[in-house]
Amino acid sequence: MDFKKTILWAVFSMSALMLYNNWQVHEGKPSLFGGNPSSSVVATNDKASPTKVDTPAPLPGSTTPAIAQTPNINSGDIETSEKFVLQNDVLVLEISANGANVVDAKLTKQLTADKKPVELFQYTPTHKYFARSGLISLGNADLPNHTSNFKLAQSGKDGSGRPFIVLASERNGVKLEKTFILNPGSYVVEIGHRVTQSTVNTNPLVLYTELVRDASQEQKIGPFGGAFSASTFTGPAAYTDKEKFNKLEFTAIDKNKITIPTQAAAGDPAWVAIVQHYFASAWIPGDKFARDIYAGRIDNGLYRIGMQTPLGVVAPGAVVVEKARLFVGPQEESVLETIAPGFALLKDYGYLTILAKPIFWLLENIHAYVGNWGWSIILLTILIKLVFFPLSAASYKSMARMKEVQPRLLAMKEQYKGEPQKLNQAMMEMYRKEKINPLGGCLPVVIQIPVFISLYWVLLSSVEMRNAPWVLWIHDLSVPDPYYILPIIMAVSMFVQTKLNPTPPDPIQAKVMMYMPLVFSVMFFFFPAGLVLYWVVNNLLSIAQQWQINQMFGKKPAK
């Protein structure tokens, strides 16, 4: 009996410790286990080094050309330059005349706590996060790049009614025209790079597309200073068909301990991104050519990840057009899956993705019928409870039998006081005769904990829960209950469950079990309301099931 309880509370305590440690890491604090949070792709790469120059240089062994001198960014030019606005019903973009960079992006359907659109891209003195592109070549030619002055060539709507802007810049006989097009209801910007060569140039040209961001965490919204509104992961990421999805920690880039795929073969899908809680941005270049991938830290505390696409030698009078797509939006799983191969991996479920993805799929399908995420969580809880019903029933039966023989256990403890070996033999003999497995209640708990943690990641990572109301005072399932009502109900339900279980013969252990509901409820004050709702419903169903089984065994004549 004591051994069983020890195992149960050890499992619960480790789960609670892991969740609390995740919270610490999400809030930017050191891990409880020491060191900084590590990425799954962190490794020493002797060939790559974080460059301080602003225009990308090729990686060692790359087929793309290097340049002898690189222009430096002039922050003042971008901040003070003219801005051109491009928008649809979900996105409002600002594109700077300096460099034709996308320096501001407002998501009009995603609102902050004060009902303002989420501003994903920003270029301010305190926060910089933007997308840029340009040309480089083998020689020292000054070509149109992200620091050049671009002029408005054309704007309006195309034949399909899509808003577009064309910005152009020309340097040393090379003209670069960037065309930005937005589709209705889409977070994907179609960007065409049209290169025209007017003079003789034997140096091959290279188009680069990159994302730039500082290492600051995104603004946290919600009670407790944003507890559990922090990012599951914030930083660059890359995907290739061969290497799949790789994440890069900012700290790993600083220490030159990153490993990323350096090249994507022609014809293979590939993209680079910067991920943060609920949202992401990504460049998805065309796959006509092999593309080089690079990442590093540049001046002013900024980090970047990008791709270089070789355009080859452009003959005088010739025109080359290379298309790319820029995603700026929320991590809505159903949308991500339609954009590019592997794009749904931007939504970070942690280590239990194999369980979290089907749980979210089921939750999303339930929501399609009921139209409310709170009721969807309740129905999902009932379904999970039904799946685990046989295991739970076996567990509760085992606990009921243990409660039945509790007086005999207490008598044995008194009889064999100071003789632990004889006590253990007597207990084992009784369990054998009564056909009781003292560990019978542990297995269901151990099996359900991964499901609970997976659901935790689903509710933490799903932007669909953001600002999603349930009923009455719960206006956002992704943040903690503002009035602590759900955590208090959960504490009461845990207390009832404790009373339904057999009382441990050890007085100290009995007191610990009585205090555990209070400890867990305090911890759940900081959990998303959706997760606490799941746990409350699960507890209530468990109480009903356990009470019924106790009633069945309580009617049996005492032996």
Cα–Cα distance, 435 to 411 (Å, whole number)? 19
> What's the confidence (pLDDT) of residue 500?
66
- Give the residue-averaged pLDDT of 334-353: 87
Could you report the per-residue pLDDT of 504-539, keeping only the tens digit for each?
A: 555 565 566 666 666 666 777 778 888 888 888 888
Least confident of 115-124, 136-145, 285-294, 295-304: 136-145
Element (H, E) at 510: helix 507-524
Q: Is the pLDDT of residue 499 over 90?
A: no
What percentage of the chain carries pLDDT values higher than 70? 71
> What's the confidence (pLDDT) of residue 233?
80
- Give the residue-averaged pLDDT of 156-177: 92
> What's the confidence (pLDDT) of residue 20?
52
> What's the confidence (pLDDT) of residue 81?
82
CA distances from 31 to 48, 108, 255, 478 (A): 28, 35, 18, 23
Residue with the bigger pLDDT between 179 and 466: it is 179
Least confident of 222-231, 357-366, 391-400: 222-231
Domain borders along the chain are 2-23+357-554, 38-348
> What's the confidence (pLDDT) of residue 99?
92
3-state SS string over 223-262?
HHHHCCCCCCCCEEEEEECCCEEEECCHHHHHCCCECCCC
pLDDT band with cut points at 50, 70 and 90 for residue 3: very low
Q: Is the pLDDT of residue 395 over 50?
A: yes
> What's the confidence (pLDDT) of residue 225?
38
pLDDT band with cut points at 50, 70 and 90 for residue 392: low
pLDDT band with cut points at 50, 70 and 90 for residue 314: confident
Q: Is the pLDDT of residue 103 over 80?
A: yes
Residue with the bigger pLDDT between 308 and 548: it is 308
> What's the confidence (pLDDT) of residue 61?
46
Residue with the bigger pLDDT between 553 and 358: it is 358
Cα–Cα distance, 336 to 497 (Å, whole number)? 42
Tokens, residue 525: 């004050």
Q: Is the pLDDT of residue 188 over 90?
A: yes
pLDDT band with cut points at 50, 70 and 90 for residue 365: very high
pLDDT band with cut points at 50, 70 and 90 for residue 190: very high
Residue with the bigger pLDDT between 433 and 534: it is 534
Q: Is the pLDDT of residue 243 over 70?
A: yes
CA distances from 125 to 63, 75, 219, 300, 475 (A): 37, 9, 15, 11, 33
Q: Is the pLDDT of residue 133 over 90?
A: yes
- Give the residue-averaged pLDDT of 103-120: 90
Q: Is the pLDDT of residue 11 over 80?
A: no
Q: Is the pLDDT of residue 25 over 60?
A: no
Q: Could you say which of 3.40.190.10, 2.40.50.700, 2.70.98.90, 2.30.30.20 is the CATH number of the domain covering 38-348?
A: 2.70.98.90
Least confident of 129-138, 264-273, 336-345, 494-503: 494-503
pLDDT band with cut points at 50, 70 and 90 for residue 449: confident
Highest mean pLDDT among 285-299, 319-333, 517-531: 319-333
Least confident of 84-98, 188-202, 221-235, 270-284: 221-235
For the chain, the average pLDDT equals 77
Q: Is the dihedral of CA 418, 422, 425, 426 positive or negative?
A: negative
Residue with the bigger pLDDT between 249 and 397: it is 249
Residue with the bigger pLDDT between 308 and 535: it is 308
> What's the confidence (pLDDT) of residue 139?
67
Tokens, residue 215: 């290492």
User: Residue 347 in contact with residue 333, Cβ under 8 Å?
Assistant: yes
> What's the confidence (pLDDT) of residue 54?
61
- Give the residue-averaged pLDDT of 278-298: 90
User: Residue 204 in contact with residue 311, Cβ under 8 Å?
Assistant: yes
- Give the residue-averaged pLDDT of 455-474: 85
> What's the confidence (pLDDT) of residue 71?
41
CA dihedral 270, 275, 277, 281 (to 10 degrees): -80
- Our measurement of the distance from residue 554's CA atom to the centroid of its chain's CA atoms, rounded to an integer in Å, reads 48
Residue type, position 283, single letter: W
pTM score, whole prediction: 0.77
Torsions phi, psi for 181 (to 5 deg): -130, 135
Q: Is the pLDDT of residue 117 over 60?
A: yes
- Give the residue-averaged pLDDT of 28-42: 39
Residue with the bigger pLDDT between 253 and 425: it is 253
Cα–Cα distance, 177 to 180 (Å, whole number)? 10
- Give the residue-averaged pLDDT of 215-226: 50
> What's the confidence (pLDDT) of residue 441?
55
Q: Is the pLDDT of residue 223 over 70?
A: no
Q: Is the pLDDT of residue 264 over 60?
A: yes
> What's the confidence (pLDDT) of residue 19?
55
